[in-house]
Each structure stands twice: as structure tokens, then as C-alpha cells.
Amino acid sequence: MGPPVIETRGLTKTYGSGRPAVEGLDLSVPAGSIFGFLGPNGSGKTTTIRMLMGLIQPTAGGARLLGEPMPAAARRVLPRIGALIEGPALYGFLTGRANLLRYDAADPTADPRTRAARVTAALERVGLAAAAGKRARAYSLGMKQRLGLAAALLQPRDLLILDEPTNGLDPQGMREIRGLVRELAADGTTVFLSSHLLDEIEQVCTHAAVMSSGRLITQGTVAGLAAGARGRLAVTTPDTADAVRILKEHGLADLVVTGDRVTGELPPGTDGGEPDPADLNAALVVAGVRVRAFGTERPSLEDVFVALTGEGFDVAG
Ligand SMILES: Nc1ncnc2c1ncn2[C@@H]1O[C@H](COP(=O)(O)OP(=O)(O)OP(=O)(O)O)[C@@H](O)[C@H]1O
Ligand SMILES: [Mg+2]
């Protein structure tokens, strides 16, 4: 594998005199990955992306994109990057198609002879072909988002940087974007996308970085991150109160009862691993708890986040 496609060292941004919006960020995005940049509202995702794209100046630290320093190499590097950043700038009085034609015309590396065909292809790719003749001011939030994404796809790119690409989309639209992201990655484009939606990242990303209040909490493969958190045990039983008592006695934490289901966080075992679930099942049965179903759940990125921060996935004050 080649050098990282995005690499930041100590990247920091302080707006005004307050607490840094991003602090000491060391990010490493491998080539070919679908990299999820995850964090609750206000955790510094858009600020980081603006620094990566050279739209704002870091207070400290720096970033390399496609192996070149930013913003010094912006002229060489930016044509190889497609970006969708929070609130794409659109001309409301122009149609979706005219917006893309104009956007492409502003790109000195774009071939005017293939412009119309590339615009048509991009509109089709994001599912906007039917609405291409509508003025952008009549677009819904989701349609504007799709148009912004189409702009990023007007040329083949080595890297796509997408800030909350599914913002404003309905579940069907979100599925379409996930499919599109997978297609692009299969064609060899590295995709860096931010989201505050944990399951969205889990569904599409190979790698992830987790932000909280401007700081990087962890980064790595999604599978590796999830493996770092302990799994949860789930028991289906009509005897929920007894099950809770027995499981608590065996060291399970955070016990939650939902209908006839009891779930709890498995304690660390003696050898560093988890206790054998078979022993827990036996203990339940011995205590007279009738067990209908019994199993362990794979930890989610949300479990990882909660385990690492001790917080829920909420906006920091
Ligand atoms: N132009 C600005 N001036 C002052 N403070 C800002 C500015 N932009 C962002 N901030 C602050 O910096 C912090 C990080 O904001 P940022 O927009 O980077 O977060 P985010 O992770 O993108 O959030 P969201 O999920 O809501 O898009 C927040 O506390 C925000 O209030
Ligand atoms: Mg943002």
C-alpha cells in the first residue's frame, strides 16, 4: 500500500479566542479506503475538512493530501480531489444542469468538449436527471445535496471528500449514496466522508476516525475499532427480573430490559478475554430462569464511542 492519501500532523484550529474547534489532529487515511470521519455535532468535522481543502488556515500543524503539502500544493492537488462541503454554493436562479455547467467551466483542468456529456452523466449518477431542468432554488435540501455531490463527480478523482453527504436525504436516498460511494471506491477512488450517524459509517466504511470535542479519540479499521469494545450479551426470557439479578451477580454492567429481552455489557474475563457465555447460560438455567434465546451481540461503533468517551453520542456543550 502506498503513502496515506490524507495525513495530518498536529492539525489545530482555534476560532477567535475560544477553545480549539480542532486540536492536535493526527489523521492517516489509507489509499483505497472508505474512511468515515465520525463525531457528534460540533466536534470539528467540517473545520477539519475546510483545513484539508485549504479553505481556512490552520492555527497550528499541517496536512498532506495525495502526498503533497496543503495549501502549498493546492493548484496541483485540488484538481484530483472532488469535494462536497457543508452547504454547497449554488446559484438559485440557474437550473441544476446550468449550475454544473458553470461549475465545470470554472475548472481550468476540465475539458469543455466533454462538458455536456460529463454533466449529464453526473446528474444521472446522483439520481437528479429528472430534476435537472428545475431551478436550484426550488430544490429540496436532499436535491441540493445530490447536486453538490454531482459537482464532485464531474471528473474522475483520486480522492473524494464528502462532508455529511447524506444530510437531508431520506432513507432511500441514503441507500443510493451508500451504493454510489461503494461504486466509486471499487473504481479506485479513496472516499473520505464525515457523518454524525454511526450506523451509516458502519454500513459503508472500511476505516473510521472518531472525534469528540475537537480531539481524535481513535482511528483504524471499522472491524478493529469494534473489536476493541466489549460485546453485549442478549437474553430473551419471560423471567427478566431474575435474569437481571443473576447477570448482575456475574459481573454484567449496564443491564437493559426491553420487553422480554435483557442485554448487558460483558465483563472482562480472567484471561483478558470475555467470560464464556456458556457459563452464564448455565447460571441462568440453574437459577430457574427460562431462556428462550441467548447470544452475544457484535459491539457497534456506538459502543466504541461510549466506551472511549464515557458519554453518549450527543452534542458537547
Ligand atoms: N466560523 C466559525 N467561527 C467560530 N466558531 C466556529 C466556526 N465554525 C465552527 N465553529 C465552532 O467550531 C466547533 C466545531 O464546528 P464544526 O462545524 O467543525 O463541527 P462539525 O463536527 O462539522 O459539526 P456538525 O456535525 O454539526 O456539522 C463548534 O464548536 C463550532 O461552534
Ligand atoms: Mg459539519
Assign 143 to helix, strand or coil.
helix
Query: In terms of Cα–Cα distance, which of 177, 98, 88 is closest to 134?
Result: 98
* Cβ partners under 8 Å of residue 124, min gap 6: none
Q: How far is residue 41's CA from residue 310's CA, in Å, rounded to a whole number? A: 17
299 lines ligand 1 (CB under 6 A): no
Is 167 a pocket residue for ligand 1 (Cβ < 6 Å)? no
Give the residue whose CA is nearest to atom 12 of ligand 1: 21
How far is CA 38 from each of CA 88, 107, 202, 216, rounded to the nearest angstrom?
Answer: 20, 30, 10, 10
Residue ID of nearest Cα to ligand 1 atom 11: 21
Judge residue 279's burial from the number of C-beta atoms within 10 Å of its C-beta, 0-12 exposed, 13-18 middle, 19 or more buried: exposed
Phi, psi angles (nearest 5°) of residue 71: -85, 5
Q: Which residues pair with 22 in a beta bridge?
A: 13
From CA 195, how far away is CA 211, in angstroms rounded?
11
Give the closest ligand to the alpha carbon of residue 25.
Answer: 1
Residue 1: what pLDDT? 62
Strands 28-29 and 6-13: antiparallel
Residue 248 CA neighbour count, 13 Å, CB half: 10
Phi, psi of 84, rounded to the nearest 5 degrees: -125, 115
Give every strand in the sheet of 293-297, ordered side by side: 253-258, 261-265, 232-236, 293-297
Rounded Cα–Cα distance for residues 25 and 204 (Å): 23
Could you tell me whether strands 81-84 and 159-163 are parallel, antiparallel, or unpaired per DSSP bridges? parallel
For residue 317, the model assigns a pLDDT of: 47
Does 212 contact ligand 1 (Cβ within 6 A)? Answer: no
**What pLDDT does residue 273 have?**
57
Query: Which residue among 19, 25, 45 has the greatest number of ligand 1 atoms within 8 angstroms of its CB, and so is best to mutate?
Result: 45
pLDDT value of position 271: 54
pLDDT at 37: 96
Reading phi first (left if > 0) and then psi (alpha if -120 to 50, else beta), residue 164 is in left
Residue 166 grid coordinates: 447524506
Cα gap 35→158, rounded to integer Å: 14
Residue showing cell 483542468 = 109
Specify whether the CB–CB gap between 292 and 284 falls below 8 A.
no
pLDDT of residue 201: 86
Q: Which three cell numbers stand for residue 148?
A: 453538490
* Protein residue with least CA distance to atom 24, ligand 1: 41
- Ligand 1 mean position, distance from CA 21 (Å): 7
Nearest CA to ligand 1 atom 1: 15
Q: Is 276 helix (H, G, I), strand (E, B) or coil?
A: coil
* The predicted structure's pLDDT at residue 274: 61
Ligand 1 atom with the smallest distance to the CA of 50 is 18
Strand locations in 67-168, DSSP E?
68-70, 81-84, 159-163
Cell matching residue 20? 480549539
* Tens-binned pLDDT, residue by residue, of the chain (317 aa): 678 999 999 999 999 888 999 999 999 999 999 999 998 888 999 999 999 999 899 999 999 999 999 989 988 999 899 999 887 788 999 999 999 999 999 888 899 999 999 999 999 999 999 999 999 999 988 888 899 999 999 999 999 999 998 888 888 888 888 988 998 899 899 999 998 888 888 889 999 999 999 999 999 998 888 776 667 889 999 999 999 999 999 989 889 999 999 999 887 765 555 667 888 999 999 999 999 999 887 667 777 777 777 666 555 44
